[in-house]
């Protein structure tokens, strides 16, 4: 999933010094990195100018954030191996996969599937989850699945998603207990170009879903996970940073994702995600 533009990492790194999430110790050798990426089409750079094949560990010209991060780690003198597990269309778990299929949406992979093949030797891991899940929940609402209690339906789906997110984290840490985990939260998808033509109510529903999922991702900051705050970064909403489909990032969008993620992945600290920024309510609150 999707957005964003190439600003330098200097300001982000400086902010991280003043206000950051960090782990007390860093058990990971800095010279050798085994980097694993869990994600969906964003993980292969879909929407960028060079899209990589699924599971490609190299893709030297890839413009997606995963490959940008790999090359930055290498440029810093590290020896880096990449296990890119991202699968286009993937959702979090069998629960959201079942909902998708019930409303006629084909989903062939879940993040749970990806977690089963995380290498035990993984030292650094990124997770970018929720974009496809948000779209499934919103489509289910349009299909009438919420009935007279749309808010209750959304909240139930989000609560299930949070339980599944916690399960995913447990699965990852069972396989790679010493890995540094960096998770990116979601922007306010109600303000993304791909839904710009929808009625305000539907966009407000998407806002509720995306903000709720981001709140669940943000809770990981208290569980030794470094959270990258896409929701509250105003640059995320610049329309020029989206690809032509209005959902996935462009090259500059992926560059910003890499800029924001790199200090956490390489330096083991990140600014704490906000719960009060104006980007959470760009549309009327549903």
We report the CATH number of the domain holding residue 177 as 3.40.50.1110
Residue 21 confidence (pLDDT): 54
In this prediction, residues 12-30 reach a mean pLDDT of 39
For residue 2, being part of any structural domain is answered with no
| pLDDT, tens digit (0-9, with 9 covering 90-100), for 72-116 | 999 999 999 999 999 999 999 999 999 999 999 999 999 999 999
| pLDDT, tens digit (0-9, with 9 covering 90-100), for 184-224 | 999 999 999 999 999 999 999 999 999 999 999 999 999 99
Domain around 17:
10-281
For residue 129, being part of any structural domain is answered with yes
| pLDDT, tens digit (0-9, with 9 covering 90-100), for 117-146 | 999 999 999 999 999 999 999 999 999 999
For residue 3, being part of any structural domain is answered with no
Token digits for 242? 């989206």
For residue 5, being part of any structural domain is answered with no
For residue 88, being part of any structural domain is answered with yes
The total domain count for the chain is 1
For residue 258, being part of any structural domain is answered with yes
* Contact (Cβ atoms closer than 8 angstroms) between residue 50 and residue 63: yes
For residue 147, being part of any structural domain is answered with yes
**In this predicted structure, which of 25-39, 79-93, 242-256 has the lowest mean pLDDT?**
25-39
pLDDT at 27 over 60: no
The burial of 30, by beta-carbon neighbours within 10 Å (0-12 exposed, 13-18 middle, 19 or more buried), is given as middle
Whole-model pTM: value is: 0.89
For residue 1, being part of any structural domain is answered with no
163 pLDDT band, cuts 50/70/90, is very high
Residue 30 confidence (pLDDT): 63
Closest-CA residue to 86 (of 56, 124, 41, 121): 41
Cα angle: 102, vertex 283, 207; to 5 degrees? 30
């Amino acid at each position: 999933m999707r957005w964003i533009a190439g600003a330098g990492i200097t300001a982000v790194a400086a902010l991280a010094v003043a206000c950051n999430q960090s782990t007390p110790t860093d058990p990971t050798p800095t010279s050798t990195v085994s980097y694993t990426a869990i994600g969906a089409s964003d993980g292969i750079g879909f929407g960028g100018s060079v899209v990589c094949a699924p599971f490609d560990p190299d893709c030297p010209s890839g413009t997606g954030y995963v490959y940008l991060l790999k090359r930055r780690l290498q440029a810093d003198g590290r020896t880096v191996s990449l296990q890119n597990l991202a699968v286009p269309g993937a959702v979090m778990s069998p629960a959201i996969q079942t909902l998708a299929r019930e409303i006629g949406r084909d989903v062939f992979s879940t993040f749970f599937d990806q977690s089963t093949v995380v290498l035990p030797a993984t030292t650094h891991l990124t997770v970018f989850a929720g974009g496809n899940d948000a779209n499934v929940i919103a489509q289910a609402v349009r299909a009438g699945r919420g009935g007279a209690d749309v808010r209750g339906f959304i909240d139930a789906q989000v609560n299930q998603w949070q339980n599944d997110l916690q399960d995913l984290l447990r699965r990852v840490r069972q396989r790679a207990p010493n890995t540094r985990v960096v998770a990116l939260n979601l922007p306010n998808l109600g303000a993304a170009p791909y839904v710009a033509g929808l009625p305000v109510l539907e966009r407000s529903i998407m806002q509720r879903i995306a903000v709720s999922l981001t709140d669940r991702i943000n809770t990981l900051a208290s569980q030794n996970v470094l959270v990258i705050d896409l929701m509250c970064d105003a640059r995320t909403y610049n329309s020029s940073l989206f690809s032509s489909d209005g959902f996935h990032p462009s090259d500059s969008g992926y560059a910003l994702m890499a800029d924001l993620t790199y200090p956490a992945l390489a330096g083991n600290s990140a600014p704490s995600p906000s719960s009060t920024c104006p980007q959470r309510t760009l549309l009327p609150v549903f």
